[in-house]
Amino acid sequence: MSAGLLASFLDCLESLPPRGTGNVHAVVANKEVAVSPVSPSPSVGETEKDQQNQGCLTCLTCLTENQPEPEQKQDVTPASPKVDAEPSEHNLINEWRSAIAAVRSDRPEIEKLKTASLRFLASPDATAAVENGWDAVSLFGMHEGTAPKERIDCWGLVLFLAWGVHGCTVETVDQKVCALRTRSGAVQTLRRNRANFDEAIPWWKHPGITNAIDGDSNE
C-alpha cells in the first residue's frame, strides 16, 4: 500500500462516527466504501452467564408447567368378607344336638328320651326356650343319683315330653314357665327354675345312662 493511500485510510477512520450509530460511507482512494457498524461481541463470561440463566429458566418452566402432578394414592383397604354370624342360641342348640346324637344305648327308655330331645331341638320351641333363658338342666335335666326316673322334681322340660304319662306337648315358653297341654286338653305349667335343680345334670351326662334306669314316672 502506498503512503498516500495509507494516509487517506487513516483520515477516514478518524472521521468515522462512534460505534453502533448506523452504516457510514468512507472514501478510500477516492472511492466511497460502505462500512457496517460492528456490534460489540459479548465477553466469554457474559455468554456463559446467559446460558446458565437460560438453562435455569427452562428448568423452572419444566418444573412448574410441564411436570405432571403426582398421582394421589388412595388408601383402599380390602373389604373383609361378610360372614353371617350364627346366633349364640343356635350354637348352643347345635352343641346339645351333637351331644345327644352321640349317645348309644340299647335301652328303650333312653332311645325314647333321645328321640324326644332331638325332636324338641328341631322345633321352634327350642329357640324360644333358649332365648328366654332355659339352659341344659331346665330342659334336659335329670337327678344325678341312681334313680333319676323317680326324681320328677329334677326333671327338665324334655323329660316330661318323653317320659310323662300325660303325653304333653309345648304350648308356649317364656322366661318363667312353659305351658304344657296334656293329651286330654288340659294345660299345665312347668317352672323354669326349681329348687332341686342343683342336684340335676343334663341326661346325656348321667354316669349310668347306658345302664338300667330304675323307677318310673309318677307324673
Is the pLDDT reported for residue 152 higher than 50?
yes
Q: Hey, what's the cell of 52?
A: 446458565
Task: Look at residue 144 and tell me if it is in a domain.
Answer: yes
Q: What is the mean pLDDT of the chain?
A: 76
Task: Look at residue 137 and tell me if it is in a domain.
Answer: yes
Task: Look at residue 215 and tell me if it is in a domain.
Answer: no
Number of domains the chain contains = 1
Task: Look at residue 26 and tell me if it is in a domain.
Answer: no
Task: Look at residue 185 and tell me if it is in a domain.
Answer: yes
Higher pLDDT, 161 or 57: 161
Is the pLDDT reported for residue 181 higher than 90?
yes
48 Cβ partners below 8 Å, 6+ apart? Answer: none
Domain of 189, in residue numbers:
107-205
Task: Look at residue 79 and tell me if it is in a domain.
Answer: no
Q: Residue 89: pLDDT band by 50, 70, 90 thresholds?
A: confident
Q: What is the pLDDT of residues 104-130, one digit of tens each?
A: 998 999 999 999 999 999 999 999 999
